[in-house]
């Protein structure tokens, strides 16, 4: 309940290690906790006092994450836990997990009770002629004061989910069916399955079908909940403490760090199949084209994997095993054999041997094309960059900057007259790759300023005077362009090197994180407790060369176009405990002398174009409608009233159904090297055609190309 000096944390860690027995998991957890606190204190950009304020914030975050929908805990549970709200700091001091252990036991008990509850509720038909309402906004709810009240909350929730599916079956209106679920979105295969159903013969048939669908969904959900163990919830507790420091600092158990590295590098070693869990089985959902499974040819979508064997070793039964544990048995080093015992759709069983290989997730990498408007001779190069990726484990592995340079050189060989860099949805990644990539488009100078906990800001410069591309540029961004994307876009804007086009402002993440292996902080003699995992800590803030931060504010485009999220608050400013916006002295830099952007002319010309563009007018109307819909949290559970409400909503949304279906006058041509590569590969050819078709329907890309073809906007060198 008071501020805890860092020396006490260090001493607690020492004493725990001195008394440690390798077989004592609880002491291992205590050491893990103390190691995390030690790293936060010594390495975080803005360390916090471990006091009552931190205790209360961590408590609130943890309770919310354990039961966001208020569907498990009762008010009496919260009253039992409430005394710990200002005691967690004292427990952290002593390495105590008393609060966590109590809460863990409580949530397990309540989950078991809820499982019985939902089964009983769904065992009998619902009455949809009564006047009842379902409240979907968890923030407006209180914890239930009795088991009876909690049961009624479950009943209304399950009744609503049954009603939405029942309407789907009665009306066979698959495109507008709404699904409510506390634990995530409806699985795509369920939606696809529903599309092929005939309308129900009567209400009773539709209601029974809908209840069965909801019951199956919750059987799978509770199966996953039962597989969550103490270590999983301990990670939630630890991250509730860490996230009080800022939303991007995070504790990663060893398995989670492995998954992060795969996402960041865009590749892994395995069989190349997307898996999901269903009724206790691991089911093949997708085969990655070109992967080991695809080449072997015997593993098929909808196969159920029953056992996994490593070469000639005895296979392991994975039925009812946690999905992530099963996946780790299936993954493995390139060149090794895994033998899968699978159950086919016809019920037969088969052993399928697969030699593991590197699985490349192509969607994560940069790709390009040449665009031309009908009636225009000018060629516009287009590069889409999904993230600023790099391979942490292999310094010679693929990286965003290296791949973009290759695409850039290929586009220059095609003689493009302008360039579009698409960073929409790019959540960032490698800061160094963003700096290097910015250097392709300026002669030299500062790209970004980075400030650490101590000392003056460090300036990351482009020291190479070579300019890989000097022509006119547009950078496309949106509200989900973050971090490294914002570094690049801000540099291009400050140097007046490119026109930034997008919606309102970018995400607003202006902080830098680093991973630290917790095992490295342990003294000799503690090897038995490894691995502890990693901690990702915010260690720096970055600033534009003009001195302003992108933190919270993001990058405001030079040309703002409407999108469906225009009137909804998204981004860093909506994250709890986000770090504040600050400003520092600008760096010395000279705006780009090779071209001049006529900003006034740009805005005047484009405001007229956007105002007269029916697609953008429709997008703006959809954004307003979406804002209104998000305010709706009360749904009628009377069938006739719900049908009337839904019919009115469908009528409002009917005019938006054609959005994204119009093809604009854009020709999309692959680069010669890519065209020859995919010509002999039907899967890659189909994928490329699909992507090109999407580009031809992209109104934002069409506007970017129009800008680069518009006279008077940019004067080139």
Task: Show which of 340, 360, 380 is a domain's final residue.
Answer: 360
Q: Pull the structure tokens for residue 191.
A: 């939606």
Range of the domain at 478: 364-715
Are 278 and 370 in a shared domain?
Answer: no
CA distance 355 to 357: 7
pLDDT for res 126: 97
Are 537 and 660 in a shared domain?
Answer: yes
Within a domain: residue 254? no
Are 532 and 551 in a shared domain?
Answer: yes
Tell me the CATH number at 311: 2.30.42.10
Are 354 and 374 in a shared domain?
Answer: no
CB 615 within 8 A of CB 699: yes
Backbone angles phi, psi at 461, to 5 degrees: -105, 155
Are 400 and 442 in a shared domain?
Answer: yes
Are 78 and 143 in a shared domain?
Answer: yes
The burial class, CB within 10 Å (0-12 / 13-18 / 19+), for 601 is middle
Total structural domains in the chain? Answer: 3
Tell me the CATH number at 633: 3.90.226.10
Q: Pull the structure tokens for residue 109.
A: 């008990």
Count other Cβ atoms within 10 Å, centred on residue 427.
16
CA distance 254 to 388: 23
Distance from CA of residue 343 to its chain's centroid? Answer: 32
Are 333 and 350 in a shared domain?
Answer: yes
pLDDT for res 71: 96
CB 35 within 8 A of CB 522: yes
Which residue do the tokens 């501020």 mark?
3
Are 436 and 541 in a shared domain?
Answer: yes
Within a domain: residue 423? yes
pLDDT for res 172: 62
Task: Show which of 184, 215, 245 is a domain's final residue.
Answer: 245
Are 350 and 395 in a shared domain?
Answer: no
Are 443 and 351 in a shared domain?
Answer: no
Are 299 and 236 in a shared domain?
Answer: no
Tell me the average confidence (pLDDT) per consecutive run of 10 residues in the chain, 717 residues long.
50 48 70 92 96 97 96 97 96 92 97 97 96 90 96 97 91 46 39 57 90 94 91 95 97 83 67 83 83 87 91 89 87 90 85 86 86 90 94 82 96 95 95 96 96 95 92 95 97 95 92 92 74 94 96 94 89 94 95 80 75 87 90 92 92 88 90 76 80 93 91 63
The dihedral of CA 683, 684, 689, 692: what is its sign? Answer: positive
What's the CA dihedral at 87, 89, 95, 101 to 10 degrees?
A: 40
pLDDT for res 159: 97
CB 344 within 8 A of CB 303: yes
The DSSP line for 310-338 is ETTSPPEE-TT--HHHHHHHH---TT-EE
Which residue do the tokens 């066979």 mark?
172
pLDDT for res 594: 67
- Which of 239, 245, 241 is CA-nearest to residue 579? 245
Within a domain: residue 250? no
Are 236 and 271 in a shared domain?
Answer: no
Within a domain: residue 252? no
Using one digit for the tens of pLDDT, what is the confidence trace for 5-34? Answer: 544 444 455 444 444 444 477 788 888 999
Within a domain: residue 256? no
CA distance 115 to 215: 11
Task: Show which of 342, 360, 378 is a domain's final residue.
Answer: 360
Which residue do the tokens 């950078």 mark?
475
Within a domain: residue 295? yes
Using one digit for the tens of pLDDT, what is the confidence trace for 344-389? Answer: 887 788 899 999 988 777 778 899 999 999 888 899 999 999 999 9
Within a domain: residue 163? yes
pLDDT for res 186: 41
Within a domain: residue 261? no
pLDDT for res 196: 55
- Terminal-residue alpha carbon distance, the chain: 65
Using one digit for the tens of pLDDT, what is the confidence trace for 400-456? Answer: 999 999 999 999 999 999 999 999 999 999 999 999 999 999 999 999 999 999 999
């Amino acid at each position: 309940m008071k501020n805890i000096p860092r020396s006490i944390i260090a001493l607690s860690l020492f004493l725990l290690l001195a008394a440690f027995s390798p077989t004592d998991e609880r002491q291992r957890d205590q050491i893990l906790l103390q190691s995390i606190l030690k790293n936060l204190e010594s390495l975080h950009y803005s360390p916090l006092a471990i006091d009552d304020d931190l205790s209360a914030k961590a408590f609130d975050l943890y309770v919310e994450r354990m039961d966001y929908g208020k569907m498990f805990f009762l008010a009496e549970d919260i009253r039992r836990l409430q005394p710990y709200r200002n005691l967690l700091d004292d427990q952290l001091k002593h390495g105590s997990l008393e609060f966590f252990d109590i809460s863990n036991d409580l949530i397990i008990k309540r989950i078991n009770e809820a499982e019985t509850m939902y089964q009983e509720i769904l065992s009998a038909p619902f009455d949809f002629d009564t006047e009842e309402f379902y409240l979907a906004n968890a923030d407006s709810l209180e914890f239930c004061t009795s088991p009876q009240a909690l049961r009624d909350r479950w009943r209304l929730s399950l009744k609503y989910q049954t009603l939405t599916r029942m309407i789907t079956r009665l009306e066979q209106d698959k495109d507008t069916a709404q699904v409510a679920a506390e634990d995530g979105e409806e699985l795509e295969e369920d939606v696809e399955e529903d599309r092929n159903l005939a309308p129900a013969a009567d209400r009773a048939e539709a209601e029974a079908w809908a209840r069965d669908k909801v019951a199956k969904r919750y059987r799978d959900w509770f199966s996953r909940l039962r597989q969550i163990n103490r270590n999983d919830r301990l990670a939630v507790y630890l991250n509730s403490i860490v996230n009080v420091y800022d939303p991007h600092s995070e504790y990663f158990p060893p398995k989670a760090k492995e998954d992060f590295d795969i996402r960041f590098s865009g590749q892994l070693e395995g069989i190349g199949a997307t898996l999901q869990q269903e009724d206790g089985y691991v089911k093949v959902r997708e085969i990655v084209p070109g992967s080991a499974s695809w080449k072997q040819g015997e593993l098929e979508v909808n196969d159920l994997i029953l056992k996994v064997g490593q070469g000639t070793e005895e296979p392991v039964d994975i039925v009812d095993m946690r999905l992530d544990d099963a996946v780790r048995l299936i993954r493995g080093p390139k060149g090794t054999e895994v033998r899968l015992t699978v159950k086919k759709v016809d019920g037969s069983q088969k052993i399928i041997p697969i030699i593991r290989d590197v699985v490349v997730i192509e969607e994560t990498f940069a790709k390009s094309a040449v665009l031309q408007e009908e009636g225009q001779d000018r060629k516009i190069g287009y590069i889409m960059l999904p993230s600023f990726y790099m391979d942490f484990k292999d310094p010679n592995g693929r990286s965003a900057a290296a791949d973009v340079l290759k695409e850039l050189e290929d586009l220059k060989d095609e003689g493009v007259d302008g360039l579009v860099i698409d960073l929409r949805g790019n959540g960032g990644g490698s800061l160094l790759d963003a700096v290097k990539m910015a250097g392709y488009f300026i002669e030299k100078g500062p790209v970004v300023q980075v400030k650490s906990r101590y000392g003056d800001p460090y300036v990351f410069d482009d020291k190479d005077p070579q300019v890989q591309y000097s022509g006119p540029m547009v950078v496309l961004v949106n509200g989900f362009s973050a971090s490294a994307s914002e570094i690049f876009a801000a540099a291009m804007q400050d140097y007046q090197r490119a026109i930034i086009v997008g919606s309102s402002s970018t995400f607003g993440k202006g902080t830098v994180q680093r991973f630290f292996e917790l095992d490295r902080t342990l003294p000799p003699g503690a090897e038995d407790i490894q691995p502890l995992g990693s901690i990702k800590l915010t260690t720096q803030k970055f600033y534009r060369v003009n001195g302003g931060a992108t933190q919270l504010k993001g990058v405001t485009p030079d040309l703002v176009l409407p999108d469906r999220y225009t009137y909804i608050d998204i981004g860093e400013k909506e994250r709890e405990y986000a770090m504040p916006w600050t400003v520092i002295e600008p760096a010395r830099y000279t705006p780009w002398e090779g071209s001049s952007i006529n900003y006034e002319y740009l805005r005047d010309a484009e405001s007229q174009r956007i105002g007269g563009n029916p697609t953008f007018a429709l997008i703006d109307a959809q954004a307003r409608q979406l804002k209104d819909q998000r305010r709706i949290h009360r749904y009628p559970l009377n069938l006739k009233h719900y049908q009337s409400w839904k019919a009115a909503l469908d009528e409002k949304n009917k005019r938006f159904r054609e959005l994204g279906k119009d093809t604009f006058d854009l020709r999309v041509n692959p680069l010669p090297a890519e065209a020859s590569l995919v010509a002999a590969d039907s899967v890659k050819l189909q994928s490329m055609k699909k992507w090109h078709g999407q580009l031809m329907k992209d109104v934002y890309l069409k506007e970017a190309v129009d800008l680069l073809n518009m006279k008077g906007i940019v004067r080139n060198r």
